[in-house]
């Protein structure tokens, strides 16, 4: 019996200790949607270390150059396949350019090549802001000043409330998404009032408008469309205030406002 | 007369005829070089129709009086990628492209003649079209090759490497043929490459000259880059749109793209010549005659590759030889094309990044518009206040037309340490599009025609029939009065127009061509086919 109790206690203790680790990762899972970091290729990680040891003092630990050239811009590295060309340079060095031969096994060469190709791939994909962009890089503003802007010159309080629609807004979006939505939300929030020649009006969510036609869903949800030259169409754009602010906002007002919204969690 | 004498006479006549017409040219085939020097009516022999880039046609069979009866002559479907190219029309055949693909289609009846396909690696973002010399076509590829095809049947003549595709170079532009030079530019700002223009021999593909966007170290212009740094030779400045040419001055005018790393400027302090520049080059040697820089030290991806449109007109009471560009950064520039003298700089659409214009006519960037780790809101975004779509200059109205966008983006500088490639990105927030007519003398907006909420990318064609053709963002093809911007005709063509209209005349009938995604529409006014 005691043995069982002890075992149960051990299991419970393990569970409690284990749950601390679990709860951290759970908290992350509940946080605003972030890209899971891609699993790291062990060869790339080995290659990163090896490169740092064997090559970093001349080429920089990230291979972007120091005394020696930036290898991410090297045609030879771009044409290398699994270390065939890189290994050659390492084995012979470049005496005319002051690079000594660097002793390395075939495996080490393969890992270094994997690392360099992965760095180049990152550079090729550098036209991107990752979903998981850290909040602390965006939090350069002052939340109090942001709150004052929200309630004052920004006019945000006319449509929004920190305890109403914006309650815990920081938990609903990743920081980068929150900043984008704060400036201009996604989604269709436009309605139209169409006045027919006889004077009756039809109103509803806008489906399409251009110079020649307007289409909406009427009160019963039916699709209706009209030629623009036969009716009057009045657009009611609930995002107009956002659009107008885009013309006026200074960078510090944006950062202050973001700091304020990011504090609503 | 004996039977064989008649045959002999015919054979002799044919031999003499072939001799007179020259090698490689059978009767009625091939591009007559004189067609490149006269207004494009029965022929559209080069990307912009003519060397000036005005995209103004002297044809007036389709005009304000009959536009209401515009009808379809034929439709051709590639059943493939969207057509962004402007077709050539030579000897009653249309030649056009998409990445990896070239089509020859009967320009009168819309029937397919031949199709060339060359699969490749590299960016397949789009393709603008072909160059032509005699009976040979010139085609650039996603892996940065230049191909020569026989126009008769699409057979390959030669295939040369323009630049190393493995480094990130690719090519989309329609080569420009100037006498016996085939001139091709390259694309690629995802990685940090040296921009360049290459001229090759039309018969063999042998390189005649190369002009590099970045000068060699120590050469004029290199002082606008940091010394003792690899920034200069990896500075960007892609030449990805077709330039214009003045045969009388014998000057080639070309726009260059943005510097690299794209959003991060610290490692490349200086104006970064000749990126984001309009350069005038000698087409026989590739030597630089003059330059003007619409965006010094750009950090917003604002390529200045938009067509440098050439026209002769009065400026401040005197006749001048002019060059105008509505640039990606939202500014209209007017220059004297003989020497690059700056005449006008004026914003053609809303913009928030510039605080004014310097003494050389270059917009001054606000430091607060620089991409930053915490984001900088800027109008326009990287997609630009305008982009590669064709502008037009109409000598009947003396107005310069551009499809312009109001685009807001927030620019993030993500890179830490040495930036490679883009170093970050902007996120688009909101955009709309409008078509504007500018007074070239001042850059001021004479009329404005809204095209809808989204980023439009349709090009413009103006004609002597007092018509302007383009499209809105909802897939409506439009004919406007070029003097007032009033809509005279429209048609929902069933897709977003991502190309520029063109026109030609065959046997007295004017055809108006509008590519709409993978469908080529040929319009005409009613009459005999």
User: Do residues B14 and B6 lie in contact, with contact meaning Cβ atoms separated by under 8 Å?
Assistant: no
Q: Which of A78, A127, A133 sits opposite B167 (nearest CB)?
A: A78
Residue B383's alpha-carbon distances to B39, B188, B344, B378, in angstroms, are 32, 15, 24, 11
Two structure tokens written together for B120: 């490749």
Hey, are the CB atoms on A126 and B420 less than 8 Å from each other?
yes
pLDDT of B410-465, one tens digit each? 999 999 989 999 999 999 999 999 999 999 999 999 999 999 999 999 999 999 99
* Angstrom distance (rounded) from CA B132 to CA B177: 7
Name the minimum distance, in Å, from the CA of B292 to any CA of chain A: 28
C-alpha A192/C-alpha A194 separation (Å) is 6
Contact across the interface for B352 and A247, Cβ inside 8 Å: yes
**What pLDDT sits at residue A40?**
81
Model confidence pLDDT, tens digit, residues B98-111: 999 999 999 999 99
**pLDDT at residue B185 in the model:** 98
CA nearest B75: which of B517, B475, B528? B517
Measure CB to CB from residue A123 to each of B376, B379, B420 and give the nearest one: B420
Report which secondary-structure segment, H or E, holds A10: helix A2-30
B301 part of the active site: yes
Give the distance from residue A2's alpha carbon to the nearest chain B alpha carbon, in angstroms: 59
Q: CA A109, CA B77: separation in Å to the nearest integer? A: 51
User: Cβ A127–B379 below 8 Å, yes or no?
Assistant: no
Which of B190, B234, B425 is facing A124, going by the closest CB pair?
Answer: B190
- Flag whether pLDDT at B19 surpasses 70: no
Residue in chain B nearest A248 by alpha carbon: B352
Would the CB atoms of B262 and A127 count as touching at under 8 Å? yes
pLDDT of residue A2: 44
Distance CA B471, CA B465 (A): 18
* Residue A184 near chain B (CB below 8 Å): yes
Return the residue of A nearest to B491 by Cα: A212
Q: Supply φ then ψ for residue A250, to 5 degrees.
A: -90, 165
What token pair was written down for A35? 């890209």
CB B58 within 8 A of CB B464: yes
pLDDT (mean) for B115-130: 97
Place of tokens 């003007």: B292
- What is the C-alpha separation between B381 and B386, in angstroms, rounded? 10
Q: Contact B423/A126, CB-based, under 8 Å?
A: yes
Q: What is the pLDDT of residues B220-243, one digit of tens each?
A: 999 999 998 999 999 999 999 999
Q: What local confidence, expressed as pLDDT, does residue B12 receive?
A: 56
Which residue in A243, A254, A255 is closest to B430 by CB distance? A243
Residue B439, both tokens: 């007074």
Q: Do residue B429 and residue A180 have CB atoms under 8 angstroms apart?
A: yes
Q: Which residues of B touch A192 (CB under 8 A)?
A: none
pLDDT at B184 exceeding the cut of 60: yes
The whole-chain average pLDDT of chain B stands at 94
pLDDT reported for residue A59: 96
**What integer pLDDT is reported at residue A30 of this predicted model?**
37
Q: Is A72 on the interface with B (CB under 8 A)?
A: yes
Residue labelled with tokens 């740094």: B229
The residue with greater pLDDT, B469 or A7, is B469
Nearest Cα of chain B lies from the Cα of A189 at a distance, in angstroms, of 14
Once rounded to an integer, what is the mean pLDDT over residues B258-282?
A: 98
What does the block give as tokens for A89?
A: 């340079």
A78 with B425: Cβ contact below 8 A: no
Query: Residue B254 burial (CB < 10 Å; 0-12/13-18/19+)?
Result: buried
pTM: 0.91
> Chain A window 160-179: which residues touch B at a Cβ cutoff of 8 Å?
176, 179
Hey, are the CB atoms on B377 and A137 less than 8 Å from each other? no
| Pick from B57, B52, B63: nearest CA to B40 | B57
Q: Is the pLDDT of residue A23 over 80?
A: no
**Average pLDDT taken over every residue of chain A:** 88
Beta pairing partners, B519: B77, B516
B426 vs B428: CA distance, rounded Å:
6
Type and span of the H or E element at B490: strand B487-492
**Residue of chain B minimizing CA distance to A141:** B374
In degrees and rounded to multiples of 5, residue B116 shows phi and psi of -110, 135
Cα angle B85, B87, B89; round to 5: 170
- Per cent of chain B over pLDDT 70 is 94
Backbone angles phi, psi at A117, to 5 degrees: -65, -35
Tell me, what's the ipTM?
0.89
Map residue B239 onto helix, strand or coil. coil
DSSP state for residue B395 in the 8-state scheme: T
CA atoms of B166 and B87, how far apart (whole Å): 29
- Lowest-confidence region among A121-125, B289-293, B473-477: A121-125
Q: Contacts of residue B455 in chain A, CB cutoff 8 Å? A: none
Task: Give A249's contacts in chain B (Cβ within 8 Å).
Answer: 377
pLDDT greater than 90 at residue A7: no
Of B175, B232, B228, B235, the C-alpha closest to B205 is: B175
B123, B192, B298, B301: which is the annotated catalytic residue? Answer: B301
In the prediction, which pLDDT does B529 show?
Answer: 54
Judged against a pLDDT cut of 70, whether residue A35 lies above it is answered with no
For chain A, positions 91-130, list CB contacts with chain B under 8 A. 120, 122-130
Provide the pLDDT confidence category of residue A8 given band limits of 50, 70 and 90. Answer: low
Give the H or E element holding residue B129: none
Number of inter-chain CB pairs under 8 A, A vs B: 123
Is A25 near chain B, with CB under 8 Å?
no
Mean pLDDT (whole number) for B113-118? 98
Interface test with A, best of B170, B232, B374, B448 (most A CBs within 10 A): B374
Contact flag B420-A60 (C-beta cutoff 8 Å): no
DSSP string, B259-289: BSSSS--GGG-S--TTTT-EEEE-TTT--EE
């Amino acid at each position: 019996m005691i043995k069982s109790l002890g075992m149960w206690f051990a299991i419970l203790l393990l569970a409690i200790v284990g749950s601390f680790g679990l709860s951290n990762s759970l908290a992350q899972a509940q946080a605003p949607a972030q890209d899971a970091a891609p699993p790291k290729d062990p060869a790339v990680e080995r290659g990163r270390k090896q490169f740092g040891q064997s090559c970093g003092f001349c080429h920089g630990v990230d291979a972007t150059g120091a005394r020696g050239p930036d290898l991410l811009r090297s045609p030879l590295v771009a044409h290398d396949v699994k270390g065939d060309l890189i290994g050659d340079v390492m084995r012979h060095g470049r005496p005319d350019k002051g690079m000594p031969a660097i002793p390395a096994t075939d495996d080490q060469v393969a890992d270094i090549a994997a690392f360099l190709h992965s760095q180049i791939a990152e550079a090729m994909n550098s036209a991107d802001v990752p979903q998981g962009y850290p909040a602390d890089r965006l939090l350069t503003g002052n939340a109090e000043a942001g709150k004052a802007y929200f309630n004052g010159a920004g006019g945000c309080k006319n449509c929004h409330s920190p305890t109403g629609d914006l309650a815990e807004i920081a938990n609903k979006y990743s920081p980068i998404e929150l900043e984008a939505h704060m400036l201009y939300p996604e989604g269709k929030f436009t309605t139209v009032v169409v006045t027919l020649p006889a004077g009756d009006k039809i109103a509803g969510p806008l489906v399409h408008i251009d110079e020649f036609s307007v289409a909406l869903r009427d009160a019963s949800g039916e699709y209706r469309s009209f030629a623009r030259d036969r009716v009057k169409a009045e657009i009611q754009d609930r995002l107009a205030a956002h659009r107008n602010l885009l013309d006026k906002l200074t960078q510090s007002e944006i950062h202050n406002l973001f700091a304020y919204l990011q504090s609503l969690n | 007369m004996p039977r064989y004498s008649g045959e002999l006479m015919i054979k002799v006549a044919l031999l003499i005829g072939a001799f007179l017409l020259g090698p490689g040219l059978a009767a009625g085939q091939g591009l007559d070089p004189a067609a490149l020097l006269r207004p494009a009516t029965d022929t559209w022999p080069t990307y912009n129709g003519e060397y000036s880039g005005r995209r103004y046609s002297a044809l007036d069979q389709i005009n304000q009086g009959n536009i209401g009866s515009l009808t379809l002559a034929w439709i051709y479907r590639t059943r493939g990628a969207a057509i962004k190219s402007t077709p050539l029309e030579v000897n009653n055949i249309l030649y056009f492209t998409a990445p990896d693909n070239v089509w020859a289609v009967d320009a009168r009846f819309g029937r397919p003649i031949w199709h060339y396909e060359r699969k490749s690696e590299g960016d397949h973002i789009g393709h603008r079209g072909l160059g032509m010399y005699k009976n040979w076509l010139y085609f650039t590829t996603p892996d940065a090759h230049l191909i020569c095809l026989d126009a008769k049947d699409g057979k390959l003549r030669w295939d040369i490497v323009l630049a190393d595709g493995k480094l990130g170079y690719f090519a989309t532009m329609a080569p420009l043929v100037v006498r016996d030079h085939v001139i091709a530019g390259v694309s690629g700002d995802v990685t940090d490459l040296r921009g360049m223009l290459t001229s090759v021999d039309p018969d063999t593909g042998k390189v005649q000259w190369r002009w590099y966007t970045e000068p060699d170290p120590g050469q004029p212009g290199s002082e606008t880059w940091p010394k003792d740094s690899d920034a200069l030779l990896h500075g960007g400045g892609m030449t990805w749109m077709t330039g214009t040419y003045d045969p009388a001055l014998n000057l080639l005018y070309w726009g260059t793209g943005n510097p690299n790393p794209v959003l991060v400027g610290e490692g490349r302090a200086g104006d970064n010549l000749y990126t984001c520049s309009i350069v005038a080059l000698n087409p026989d040697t590739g030597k630089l005659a003059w330059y003007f820089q619409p965006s010094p030290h750009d950090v917003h991806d604002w390529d200045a590759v938009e067509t440098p449109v050439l026209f002769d007109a009065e400026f401040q009471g005197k006749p001048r030889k002019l060059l105008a560009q509505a640039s990606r950064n939202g500014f209209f520039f007017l220059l004297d094309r003989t020497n690059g003298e700056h005449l006008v700089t004026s914003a053609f659409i809303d913009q928030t990044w510039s605080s004014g214009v310097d003494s050389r006519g270059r917009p001054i960037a606000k430091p607060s518009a620089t991409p930053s780790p915490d984001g900088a809101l800027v109008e326009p975004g990287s997609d630009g206040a305008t982009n590669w779509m064709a502008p037009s200059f109409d000598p009947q109205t003396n107005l310069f037309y551009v499809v312009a966008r109001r685009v807001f983006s927030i620019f993030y500088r993500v890179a830490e340490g040495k930036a490679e490639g883009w170093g970050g990105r902007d996120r688009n927030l909101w955009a709309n599009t409008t078509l504007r007519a500018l007074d070239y003398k001042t850059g001021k907006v004479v009329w404005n025609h809204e095209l809808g909420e989204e980023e439009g990318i349709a090009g413009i064609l103006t004609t002597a029939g007092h018509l302007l053709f383009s499209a809105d963002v909802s897939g409506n093809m439009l004919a406007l009065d070029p003097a007032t911007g009033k809509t005279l005709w429209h048609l929902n063509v069933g897709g977003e127009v991502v190309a520029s209209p063109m026109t030609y005349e065959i046997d007295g009938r004017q055809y108006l061509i509008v590519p709409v995604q993978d469908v080529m529409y040929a319009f005409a006014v009613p009459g005999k086919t």
